[in-house]
Amino acid sequence: MTMGERDPARRAELSPAVALFRSLGDETRLTIVHELAGGERRVVDLTRTLGLAQSTVSAHVACLRDCGLVEGRAVGRQMLYRLAQPELLTLLDAAERLLAATGNAVDLCPVYGNTERECTA
């Protein structure tokens, strides 16, 4: 029996949080968020920093925009991206403190620390 079969209201309530953490669960998107924490960036700036193709970076930025975490503003023919929600920095800071407090145990966890597969538990 899955969580949704037991309590569909609770599942619906948690759904936005699950989506938020999934959006931040990708290494490239999390790196983009960290870059944008330092201020506005163009896709070309992010491409240089990440060493990825422009199309790949653009797709990740679009995902973050769709989630409401990143917004862009046009300056001439360029688009500058920034964090849309400053609270995101508080969340990331809390996550870093939690990792430090646990000795990064989640990274060593055989289920969650393994980036090769998703947890099915």
Query: Does residue 60 register a pLDDT over 50?
Result: yes
More confident site: 13 or 36: 36
Cα dist from 20 to 33, 52, 80, 114, whole Å: 13, 23, 22, 20
Q: Rounded CA gap, 103 and 78, in Å?
A: 42
Is 2 part of a structural domain of the chain? no
pLDDT band of residue 76 (cuts 50, 70, 90) is very high
Which has the higher per-residue pLDDT, 34 or 108?
34
CB neighbours of residue 103 within 10 Å: 9
**Structural domain harbouring 99:** 86-121
Kindly state the tokens that stand for 96. Answer: 């870093």
Q: Residue 66 is which amino acid? A: D
- pLDDT confidence bin for 115, thresholds 50/70/90: low
If asked whether residues 70 and 101 sit together in one domain, one would say: no
- Residue 67 and residue 26 share a domain: yes
Q: Decide if pLDDT at 88 tops 80.
A: yes
Same domain, 73 and 120: no
Tokens coding 37: 């924490």
Would residue 9 count as lying in a domain?
A: no
Place of tokens 């990825």: 52
pLDDT at 79 over 90: yes
Give the chain's domain count.
2
Predicted local confidence at residue 117, as pLDDT: 44
Position 2 scores a pLDDT of: 56
DSSP string, 5-68: HH-HHHHHHHHHHHHHHHHHSSHHHHHHHHHHHTS-B-HHHHHHHHT--HHHHHHHHHHHHHTT
- Residue 73 and residue 103 in one domain: no
pTM: 0.78
Q: How confident is the model at residue 121 (pLDDT cuts 50, 70, 90)?
A: very low
